[in-house]
Amino acid sequence: MLKTQELTLNLGPHHPSTHGVFRCVLNLEGEYIQKAVNHLGYLHRGIEKLAESRTYTQFIPYNGRLDYVAGMLNEWTYVHAVEKLMGITEEIPERAQYIRVILGELQRLASHAIYIASMALDVAGATAWFYGFRDRDEILDLLEMVSGQRLMPNYMRIGGVAADLPEGFIEKCQALIDEFPNRIAEQEGILIGNEIFQARVKNVGPISKEMALDYGLTGPNLRASGVDTDLRRDEPYGIYDRFDFKVPVGEKGDTFDRVLVRIEEMKESVKIVKKALRDIPEGPVMAKVPKVIKPPVGEVYSRIENAKGHLGFHIVSDGSTKPYRLRIYSPCFVNIGIFPEMAKGIHLMDAVVALASLDIVLGEIDR
Amino acid sequence: MEKSFFNTIADALRNWLMNGLGFSDTAAQLTATAIWTLVVILFILMNLIVLVWLERKFSAFFQQRRGPNRLGPAGFLQFPVDIVKVLGKEDIIPANADKTVFKIASTCLFITTILAWAVIPLGDGVILADLNIGLFYFLAIGSTATVSLMMGGFSSNNKYSLIGGMRTVAQMISYEIPMIFSLLGVVMMVGSLRLSDVVAAQQNMWFIVPQAIAFLVYFVATVAETNRGPFDLAEGEQELVAGYFTEYSGIRYAIWMIAEYGNLVAVSTIASIMFLGGWNAPFGLTFIPGFVWLLLKIYFMIFLFMWVKWTYPRIRIDHLMHFGWKFLIPVSLANILVTGIGIYVYRLIIG
């Protein structure tokens, strides 16, 4: 008598398409997933605990190690939280605000470029992968110009930014931004419009509006499910109230929608950077903040629209130079939580695509 | 037809063996066959050097990279150096693997590749065995490749390998049918399974003109048969790491690769012979020898294979099955029907 047996497959922690050291134990019936269980923590470095023994300024470079494909945005979130705690958000110089917006949006473009690229690689479209990484590399060149580093810039400071923009940055950035819509169109041509790609991503891993809200998804993943929310518009921080941009919203919440939302967001980001480059004023880039930062006793929770969702910092201050407790609300951690639900009953090939569509970065999940 | 360069060499060799060394007729024949087999293996390996280099350079060109450019002119020596590196690697056999099967699996695939080459002509009369069922032999040998892939996937004792092996069997069996059907149209028009007859019948018109649909079906089906993108589900590195050869290392891994590229050259050669006129020169450019034309056609086919591979993402397995059974097979059957009616009408008119 023949009998079938469930196959337990260990996807990861060393697997090409788990985007890092993520491990998922799958119960397979043939090649269809019956049950998926997430296992996290392979990249745990205790960053939250480390923060307690670093001064407020010393902790800035650690932020680049969280979501290492969007370091600039993480730093911005952190310094924004500390500024809010000190009550100096209004004193940040104009020029610094514009620089933050420009670099933040460039970083968002880079992060989304990686998203599209890794999405392409997970359906085995190696050519589109290289296109995405080429675009991101040129953005990283710009970040290198301002901060000297490509991935972990350590450029934001409490009260402004570390240094003024270097000579020639505006022109170089302008040239790239003018070129960028063509790059997006190229990506749409080779990947998004491709029939095989669409067959691979349409109706894969759909997340309904209710399910997305129940699981607490944020950012593009939530917008793809049809919830119209964007912190840049809803709770404008910095100078985002001066910019006019659309918030793209998906319909079905499947993988294809998640890709399209990101593509549309890239187009909006290009517009924001364009306007910021036009309006950027001259002036100082650093507010008058004390050399030794000692926020008053109290606590603050501040969140910002990161490339992956709402990144939040909860900081408790006891009045000393170091935070008493620092807690990071990570969008990737929340987003990965829905994966077992998505993976149920779908094919192994689809599960890989569904996982890629959540845009996870393990550095931020495990912290 | 005048004798080609290769035939002259073969005759000279046979004469030398029989008259110079005093071999008997059979012994001379056997020795000549052995030498010819060696030449075929060398041809596959030489092709491999060019192919791997081309694959890397083409993919680099598509992806805006430079590709290998350090070893030899434009990185041409990268592959031989890689092989030397692979030879120095430890030959790892997983602890709970089925050791015998694991060891012979890759060699089995290589043997089928070489066996298939027995009936593939590389020019007019440059052939090991010009069987009157040449094409049939090629297809029969080609279908046994499935067994060795399954052996590799099954014996590794690795779940990824097992899934990869299962996928391979499903895919190759499904796509063999449209591949055979697509060649049937040509066979009907020629009335022979001998490959040299097929080429001779294309003196005036290549079969890609009357059999264009069959050519497309053959092209798609062979992409699946050789496990190349976008139908490389058996490898599926995104979910299956490397499919059936996940556990292979060192020279055993290299033999898998050699056999796969050997298959690629074999199916490209068959495509050139069946549809692109074989060694017939187009536009009356007969001053270029036949085997050069054949090589050019083979490499044109290989370029098409690479172009497709580096452009398209991988198709999903259920879509693959739908496409094979619900589209390719009906289309190839319809092609056979239309060809049959065409031949009937043609005979009716000619009388």
Q: Is the pLDDT of residue B239 over 80?
A: no
Distance from the B159 Cα atom to the nearest Cα atom in chain A, whole angstroms: 7
Q: Do A131 and B64 touch (CB under 8 A)?
A: yes
Q: Please answer whether residues B106 and B246 qualify as being in contact, where contact means their C-beta atoms are separated by less than 8 angstroms.
A: no
**Residue B333 buriedness (CB in 10 A; 0-12 / 13-18 / 19+):** middle
Give residue A1's pLDDT: 65
Distance from the B141 Cα atom to the nearest Cα atom in chain A, whole angstroms: 29
B237 vs A contacts (CB less than 8 Å): 16, 124
**Helical spans, DSSP H, in chain A:** 47-51, 60-63, 71-86, 94-122, 126-147, 169-187, 195-201, 209-214, 219-224, 231-234, 255-279, 331-336, 339-343, 348-357, 362-366
Q: Do B313 and A9 touch (CB under 8 A)?
A: no
Helix H or strand E encompassing B309: helix B290-309
B314 vs A contacts (CB less than 8 Å): 123-125, 196, 200, 349
* Complex prediction ipTM: 0.75
- Across A313-322, B133-142, B223-232, B275-284, least confident range: B275-284
Average pLDDT of A269-287? Answer: 88
Provide the 3-class DSSP secondary structure of residue B160.
helix
- How far apart CA B145 and CA B264 sit, in angstroms, is 13
Q: Do A16 and B63 touch (CB under 8 A)?
A: no
Per the prediction, chain B carries an average pLDDT of 82
Name the band, by pLDDT with cuts 50, 70 and 90, for residue B5.
low
The region that residue A159 occupies, defined by phi over 0 for left and psi between -120 and 50 for alpha, beta otherwise, is left
Q: Where are the domains of chain B?
A: 99-350
Average pLDDT of B30-35? Answer: 78
Q: Do A134 and B236 touch (CB under 8 A)?
A: no
Question: Quick one: tokens of B328?
Answer: 């390719």
B63 vs A contacts (CB less than 8 Å): 126-127, 129-131
Residue B186 exposure: Cα atoms within 13 Å on the Cβ side:
35
Choose, out of B238, B241, B308, the residue to mutate when testing the contact with A (most A CBs < 10 Å).
B238
Q: Is the pLDDT of residue B214 over 60?
A: yes
Distance from the B162 Cα atom to the nearest Cα atom in chain A, whole angstroms: 11
DSSP code at position B205:
S
Q: Do A200 and B315 touch (CB under 8 A)?
A: yes
CATH fold of A6-366 reads Cytochrome-c3 Hydrogenase; chain B (1.10.645)
B160 vs A contacts (CB less than 8 Å): 9
Cβ neighbours, 10 Å, residue B91: 11
Q: Is the pLDDT of residue A100 over 80?
A: yes
Q: Do B313 and A194 touch (CB under 8 A)?
A: yes
Q: Do B238 and A125 touch (CB under 8 A)?
A: no
Distance from the A123 Cα atom to the nearest Cα atom in chain B, whole angstroms: 5
Average pLDDT of B280-285? Answer: 73
What separation, in Å, do the N-terminal and C-terminal C-alpha atoms of chain A show? Answer: 50
Taking any CB pair shorter than 8 Å as contact, residues of chain B touching chain A are 59, 62-65, 159-160, 163, 229-230, 232-233, 236-239, 241, 310-319
- How far apart CA A259 and CA A254 sit, in angstroms, is 9
The region that residue A163 occupies, defined by phi over 0 for left and psi between -120 and 50 for alpha, beta otherwise, is beta
Cβ neighbours, 10 Å, residue B203: 9
Q: Is the pLDDT of residue B147 over 50?
A: yes
Cβ neighbours, 10 Å, residue B101: 16
Give residue A314's pLDDT: 92
What is the reported pTM? 0.83
Of B62, B160, B314, the CB nearest to A124: B314
Name the band, by pLDDT with cuts 50, 70 and 90, for residue A63.
confident
Cβ neighbours, 10 Å, residue B251: 15
Per residue in B158-199, pLDDT (tens digit) is 888 888 888 888 888 888 888 888 888 888 888 888 887 888
Name the band, by pLDDT with cuts 50, 70 and 90, for residue B236.
low
Quote the percentage of chain A above a pLDDT of 90: 4
- How far apart CA A361 and CA B127 sit, in angstroms, is 57
Average pLDDT of A75-101? Answer: 88
Helix H or strand E encompassing A29: strand A23-29
Average pLDDT of A206-232? Answer: 88
Place of tokens 């589209």: B327
Name the band, by pLDDT with cuts 50, 70 and 90, for residue A201.
confident
Q: Whose CA is closest to B60, among B72, B40, B75?
A: B75
Per residue in A111-126, pLDDT (tens digit) is 999 999 888 888 887 8
Helix H or strand E encompassing A313: strand A310-317
Quote the percentage of chain A above a pLDDT of 70: 99
Q: Whose CA is closest to A71, among A113, A103, A119?
A: A103
Per residue in A290-318, pLDDT (tens digit) is 888 888 888 899 888 888 888 899 999 88
Length of chain B: 351
Name the band, by pLDDT with cuts 50, 70 and 90, for residue B350.
confident
A197 vs B contacts (CB less than 8 Å): 313
Per residue in A154-177, pLDDT (tens digit) is 888 888 888 888 888 888 899 999
Choose, out of A131, A190, A349, the residue to mutate when testing the contact with B (most B CBs < 10 Å).
A349
* Chain A: residue whose CA lies nearest to B232: A124
Q: Is the pLDDT of residue A329 over 80?
A: yes
Q: Whose CA is closest to B102, among B67, B165, B56, B151?
A: B151
Q: Whose CA is closest to A67, among A23, A107, A12?
A: A107
A17 vs B contacts (CB less than 8 Å): 238-239
Cα-to-chain-centroid distance, residue B276: 15
Choose, out of A7, A116, A127, the residue to mutate when testing the contact with B (most B CBs < 10 Å).
A127
Choose, out of B55, B56, B61, B312, the residue to mutate when testing the contact with A (most A CBs < 10 Å).
B312
- Across A259-263, A298-302, B31-35, B298-302, least confident range: B31-35
Which whole-number Å values give the CA distances from B84 to B251, B254, B256, B321, in the listed order?
9, 10, 16, 39
A–B CB contacts, 8 A cutoff, strictly below: 77
* Chain B: residue whose CA lies nearest to A192: B313
Name the band, by pLDDT with cuts 50, 70 and 90, for residue B237.
low
Q: Is the pLDDT of residue B133 over 60?
A: yes
Place of tokens 């008493």: A324
Average pLDDT of A330-357? Answer: 87
The partner residues of A328 in beta bridges, in order of sequence, read A313
Q: Please answer whether residues A367 and A328 qualify as being in contact, where contact means their C-beta atoms are separated by less than 8 angstroms.
A: yes
Helix H or strand E encompassing B45: helix B25-62
Q: Do B313 and A123 touch (CB under 8 A)?
A: yes
Q: Whose CA is closest to A109, among A186, A161, A180?
A: A180
DSSP code at position A90:
G
Question: Quick one: tokens of B18?
Answer: 């029989």
* Chain B: residue whose CA lies nearest to A9: B159
Distance from the A278 Cα atom to the nearest Cα atom in chain B, whole angstroms: 32
Per residue in A22-36, pLDDT (tens digit) is 888 888 887 888 888
Of B64, B310, B317, the CB nearest to A134: B64
Per residue in A35-62, pLDDT (tens digit) is 888 888 888 888 888 888 988 888 888 8
Quote the percentage of chain B above a pLDDT of 70: 93
Give residue B1's pLDDT: 40
- Across A65-69, B41-45, B108-112, least confident range: B41-45
Name the band, by pLDDT with cuts 50, 70 and 90, for residue B72.
confident
Average pLDDT of B235-241? Answer: 68
Name the band, by pLDDT with cuts 50, 70 and 90, for residue B2.
very low
